[in-house]
């Protein structure tokens, strides 16, 4: 029974919960059993809260805490995992930092409150890099999270623990966040799906960067319909976040399950050479993008001009770090990893004129994308510049023969889209010659999550790659070419 339950999709599990065929306690027990088997090999969920989860389950089963039962995104008692950047009341929450090694918050993040109000039950906190900074999930509190397709490799970051928990069947849904690609990158490297929503779609609650569109919260899942269900759970206005807005009248789940193919699809492997992307990745993604033609879509190679996106993103991200980390670094400098100190000091050293330049460039980039989407319904790119690399490396250092200059440079495919405020989904599209997952990034116009979900659902129906999950962790070695 336990094995059968972990192989259910989130939507199947919610349907079974609504019908009374299973209980939330059944699913908690199934997840706990799977976690006990898998965790020693992957280290994805370092903090469990199963007693708290069972108390929540019993309340739901007794008819309490069900006021949102008729709303889109109702989870009916489905267990979920929360990234260790978001507070869960009464549960150890470290942010991946030794400064907060023993931190236990008294209240939950507004998004966690929303998920629980919609019938989600938190069973664990997923591992993340320190304060979510970096494309490899490791920290001094819990160590490294390993890729289940090959445990010698990284799972990506910063929602790496959530991606691994999904791929291995430890959970049905995972909450995460995305600044430069923290939902999309791990989804690609672990062969699951993740969406970076438009800024304001999902509350960021307690962030000090409340008026910045760079970092967003969002869902991750094993398939597109489950991803849409969890986005319905999360979406909507929140008094704690001034950028939030109403959820759509048509649920995202309907957009995914009733998906029609987009009319016109643009594909670019590397934005006309502007960004480094591994050769085999370019080839795999190019063939995958052409599969949209099987659904009757027009597929053309085209893309907007990016301009100096790497410099723009670094300038704006560095300012973001000043807001978030300047005061903490002044007090606890010796407990921060060098990447965060470097990124924050970049922000402290740049001039107001430099920031003004970055804002003008970001506005111009948005306008170019808006014009581009007058012709094309979606833009498809590789989901990552390379497949997963050696988990012992802090970050990729070379892509397609090009030496990278800093720890975020390898995420330019996703960070460039961050600057546009467009929603983007990462979805599996195949494997390289070493068996490492490769994925596509599907980008839609601003606030066009429904279009991105529909296109992703069409592709998923053709590829069938979601049916490979969940997997047992697989030991391996680092490919020589990697």
pLDDT tens track for 86-95: 999 999 999 9
Residue 467 has pLDDT above 80, yes or no: yes
Contact 215, 249 (CB under 8 A): no
pTM above 0.75, yes or no: yes
pLDDT digits (tens, 9 = 90+) for 267-321: 999 999 999 999 999 999 999 999 999 999 999 999 999 999 999 999 999 999 9
Q: 200-217, pLDDT tens digit by residue?
A: 999 999 999 999 999 999
| Strands 143-144 vs 138-139: parallel, antiparallel or unpaired | antiparallel
List, in order, residues 6 or more apart from 153 with CB less than 8 Å away.
146, 147, 189, 388, 389, 390, 391, 436, 476, 478, 482
Does the N-terminal peptide bond of residue 41 adopt cis geometry, omega within 30 degrees of 0?
Answer: no
CA–CA distance from 375 to each of 16, 266, 290 (Å)?
42, 9, 18
At 389-417, the pLDDT tens digits run 999 999 998 999 999 999 999 999 999 99
Q: What is the pLDDT of residue 1?
A: 75
219 alpha-carbon distance from chain centroid: 6
Judge whether residue 371 has pLDDT over 80.
yes
**Which pairs count as long-range contacts for 267-272, CB under 8 Å and 24+ apart, including other chains?**
267/299, 267/300, 267/301, 267/302, 267/379, 267/380, 267/381, 268/301, 268/302, 268/303, 268/379, 268/380, 268/381, 269/381, 269/382, 270/382, 271/303, 271/306, 271/381, 271/416, 272/303
| Residue 478 forms part of a structural domain | no
Q: Is residue 473 part of a domain?
A: no
Smallest CA-to-CA distance from 415 within 385, 459, 455 is with 385
Rounded Cα distance between 257 and 12, Å, is 13
pLDDT, position 207: 96
Residue 458 pLDDT exceeds 60: yes
For residue 470, whether the previous peptide bond is cis, meaning omega lies within 30 degrees of 0, is: yes
In a domain, 117, yes or no: yes
* 268 burial type by CB count under 10 A (0-12 exposed, 13-18 middle, 19+ buried): buried
Specify if 479 maps to a domain: no
Where do we find the tokens 């600057």? 419
Domain count along the chain: 1
Q: Which residue has the tokens 């050696």?
A: 390
Of 307, 448, 277, nearest to 379 by C-alpha is: 448
Q: What average pLDDT does range 7-20 have in this prediction?
A: 98
| In a domain? residue 475 | no
What pLDDT, in 10s, does the model give residues 29-47? 999 999 999 999 999 999 9
In a domain, 474, yes or no: no
CB 245 within 8 A of CB 251: no
State pLDDT tens for residues 415-443: 999 999 999 999 999 999 999 999 999 99
Domain residues for the domain of 453 are: 2-468
Strand partners, 177: 217
Instruction: State the CATH number of the domain containing residue 331.
Output: 3.90.1300.10
**Phi then psi dihedrals of residue 381, to 5 deg:** -135, 170
Q: What is the pLDDT of residue 482?
A: 53
First to last CA, the chain: 40
Integer Rg of the chain from CA: 21
Residue 2: what pLDDT?
84
- As separate numbers, helices (DSSP H) first and strands (DSSP E) second, the chain gives 15, 15
**Average pLDDT along the chain:** 98
pLDDT for position 197: 98
- Supply the pLDDT for residue 363: 98
pLDDT band at residue 25 using 50, 70 and 90 as cut-offs: very high
217 — phi, psi (to 5°)? -100, 155
Q: Which of 219, 236, 203, 37 is nearest to 126 (CA)?
A: 219
Mean pLDDT in residue range 169-179? 98
* Residue range 227-272, pLDDT digits in tens: 999 999 999 999 999 999 999 999 999 999 999 999 999 999 999 9
Q: Is the pLDDT of residue 17 over 90?
A: yes
DSSP 335: G
Question: Is 141 within a domain?
Answer: yes
Q: What is the pLDDT of residues 383-392, one digit of tens each?
A: 999 999 999 9
Cα gap 133→414, rounded to integer Å: 14
The answer to the question of residue 481 being in a domain is no
Query: By percentage, how much of the chain surpasses pLDDT 70?
Result: 100
């Amino acid at each position: 029974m336990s094995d059968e339950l972990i192989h259910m999709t989130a939507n199947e599990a919610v349907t079974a919960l609504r019908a009374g065929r299973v209980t939330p306690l059944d699913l908690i027990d199934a997840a706990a059993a799977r976690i006990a088997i898998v965790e020693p090999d992957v280290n994805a969920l370092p903090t469990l809260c199963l007693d708290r989860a069972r108390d929540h389950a019993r309340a739901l089963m007794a008819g309490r805490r069900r006021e949102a039962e008729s709303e889109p995104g109702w989870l009916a008692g489905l267990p979920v995992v929360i990234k260790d950047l978001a507070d869960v009341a009464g549960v150890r929450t470290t942010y991946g930092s030794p400064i907060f090694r023993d931190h236990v918050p008294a209240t939950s993040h507004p998004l966690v409150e929303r998920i629980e109000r919609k019938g989600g039950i938190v069973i664990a906190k997923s591992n993340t890099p320190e304060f979510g900074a970096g494309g490899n999930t490791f920290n001094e509190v819990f160590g490294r999270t390993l890729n289940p397709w090959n445990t010698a490799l990284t799972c990506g970051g910063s929602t790496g623990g959530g991606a691994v928990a999904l791929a291995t069947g430890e959970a049905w849904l995972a909450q995460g966040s995305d600044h430069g690609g923290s939902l999309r990158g791990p989804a690609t490297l672990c062969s699951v799906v993740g969406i970076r929503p438009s800024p304001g779609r999902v509350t960021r609650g307690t962030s000090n960067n409340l008026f910045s569109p760079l970092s967003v919260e969002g869902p991750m899942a094993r398939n597109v319909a489950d991803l849409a269900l969890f986005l319905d759970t999360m979406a909507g206005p929140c008094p704690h976040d001034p950028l939030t807005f109403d959820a759509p009248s048509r649920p995202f789940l309907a957009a995914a399950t009733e998906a029609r193919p987009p009319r016109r699809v643009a594909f670019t492997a590397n934005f006309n050479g502007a960004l480094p992307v591994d050769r085999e990745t370019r080839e795999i993604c190019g063939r995958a993008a052409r599969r949209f033609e099987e659904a009757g879509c027009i597929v053309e190679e085209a893309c907007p001009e990016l301009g100096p996106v790497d410099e723009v993103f670094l300038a704006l991200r560095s300012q973001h770090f000043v807001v978030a980390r300047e005061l903490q670094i002044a007090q606890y400098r010796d407990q921060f990893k060098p990447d965060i100190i470097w990124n924050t000091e970049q922000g402290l050293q740049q001039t107001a004129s430099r920031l003004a330049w970055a804002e003008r460039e970001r506005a111009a980039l948005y306008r170019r994308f808006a014009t581009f989407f007058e012709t094309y319904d979606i833009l498809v790119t590789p989901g990552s510049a390379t497949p997963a690399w050696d988990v012992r490396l802090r970050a990729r250092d070379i892509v397609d023969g090009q030496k990278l200059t800093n720890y975020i440079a390898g995420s330019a495919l996703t960070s460039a889209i961050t600057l546009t405020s467009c929603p983007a989904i990462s979805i599996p599209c195949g494997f390289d010659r070493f068996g490492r997952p490769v994925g596509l990034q599907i980008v839609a116009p601003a606030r066009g999550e429904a279009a991105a979900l529909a296109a992703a659902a069409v592709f998923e129906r053709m590829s069938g790659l979601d049916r490979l999950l969940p997997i047992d962790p697989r030991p391996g070695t680092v490919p020589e070419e990697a």
